[in-house]
Amino acid sequence: MMRVWVGLALNLVPLLFAPGVRADVFDQLQWLSMKDSHFIVYFQEERDTPIARKILREAEKYYQRIGTTIGFTRYGDFWTWDNRARIFLFASKETFLTETGQPEWSTGYVNKDAVAIIGRMIVTYRQEENFFDGLLPHEIGHLILHEFIKDARIPSWFDEGIAQLYEAGKPEQAFRAMKPLVSRGQFIHFRDLMRWDVQQQQDPFNVTLFYAQSVTIVDFLIKRYGSDAFGRLCRNMRDGKSLEEALDKVYPNTVPTLSDLEQKWVSFMTGR
C-alpha cells in the first residue's frame, strides 16, 4: 500500500485494557461519590466536584445515545442500582499511574489523557476538556457494545467504529481524510480488515487508517440504511450470528456479504 500522509492526521483514542487491575485495589483510598441512573463517579478531592458532576451528566447522555444506536437500551434499562457502571477519577496523572500500575505510555493521545477499562469500569484522572467529547464516549461505546453482545469475536474494526461514532466530529473528520484515499484504492480491503488487530500494528499510518476506515463504515451503515436496521444488526450478533450472517439477515437485498458492503461503502465514500 502506498503511503499518503496528507489529510490523514486524526486524533486517536486507543483502547487500553488493564488485566489484573480490580476495583477493590482502590478500597484503601478515600473517595467521594456522585450517582445518577446508570453511573457512579468516584473522585478524590472536593475541588473535582464540578468535573465529577459533568462526567456523570455526559456519561448518562452517551449511555442513551450509544445504547439506542446499537439497541442496548431499546428493550430494557441496564446498569441500574447495584449494576451501575463506575468511573474512578484520580486527582492527578501521577496518582493514577501509581495506584493502577499502568506504564507511562498507557495514556490516551499526546500523553495527556488516560483511560483503562476493567469490567464495567472506567478509570481515569483529572484532565483536559477533550476528555468529555473524545475519550468518554469512546470508552462508553466499548463498554456498552461488549456488555450487549458479550462475544470476543466482535471484529476489531466494528468495535472501534462504534466507539468513535459519538466522538465530537470524528465521523466527519474521518470521512474527509478517507475520501481521497478510497478514490485511489488506498484502503484496507474488508476481508483483510476482519482479521486486523490494531493493537498489534506498529506503523502509525496503518493504525490511523484503520481507525478512520472503521468509523466511516459504521457511519455509512447507519446513514444509508438507518439506525433501526443497524440496531437489528447488533442484536443478531448478540444472538450468536457472525457479522456476515447478521449482514445477510438484516440487509439481504443491499449488503448481504462483506464484498457487497465494501462495494457500497466505496461508492458512498467516492460519491459514485
The domain spans of the chain are 23-149, 156-270
8 A C-beta contact, residue 123 and residue 113: no
List, for residues 7-37, the tens digit of each pLDDT value. 455 554 444 444 444 455 576 788 999 999 9
What's the pLDDT at 143? 87
List, for residues 213-244, the tens digit of each pLDDT value. 999 999 999 999 999 999 999 999 999 999 99
Give CA–CA dist 219/246, Å, rounded: 17
Under 8 Å CB-to-CB from 165, ≥6 apart: which residues? 66, 69, 137, 141, 171, 215, 218, 219, 222
What's the pLDDT at 184? 95
8 A C-beta contact, residue 190 and residue 157: no
Of residues 71, 16, 67, 12, the one with CA closest to residue 39: 67
**Choices 3.50.30.10, 3.20.20.60, 3.40.30.160, 3.40.50.12280: CATH for 23-149:** 3.40.30.160
- Write out residues in the chain with pLDDT < 70, as ranges: 1-25, 27, 75-76, 102-119, 128-129, 152, 272
- pTM for the whole thing? 0.83
